[in-house]
Amino acid sequence: MNRRVRPIEKVRIVEIEVRLFNSLRRYGPRKLELPRESRVEDAVKRLAIPLPEIHVALLNGRNIMSGGNIEGFHRLEDGDVLALSGPVPWSKGYGSAVV
């Protein structure tokens, strides 16, 4: 009996740049490697950032927040830039009055 053996496909990864601002600067690396087909929510989980702490989220400069929540369904591609920020000083989310 002659079996055909399939070659093991290399696990492809995507490397993204992560930019963290304000109170989120304490989390994670500047570069992040994730399996292909990963989404924004996978990156946030890998960084172990609690979702309520994210007040601003941009993927390649585009806002991915909706109704105060991050849209985690966006698929990541190699070279993407994910920017996350906690509350911005002197904003409503920071706990101070907005003038």
Counting beta carbons within 10 angstroms of the beta carbon of residue 59, is it exposed (0 to 12), middle (13 to 18) or buried (19 or more)? buried
Say how far apart CA 45 and CA 43 lie, in whole Å.
5
For the chain, the domains span 13-88
CATH fold group of domain 13-88: Ubiquitin-like (UB roll) (3.10.20)
pTM of the model: 0.78
Counting beta carbons within 10 angstroms of the beta carbon of residue 43, is it exposed (0 to 12), middle (13 to 18) or buried (19 or more)? buried
State the 10-residue block means of pLDDT for the chain, 99 residues long: 56 90 87 94 94 93 91 94 86 52
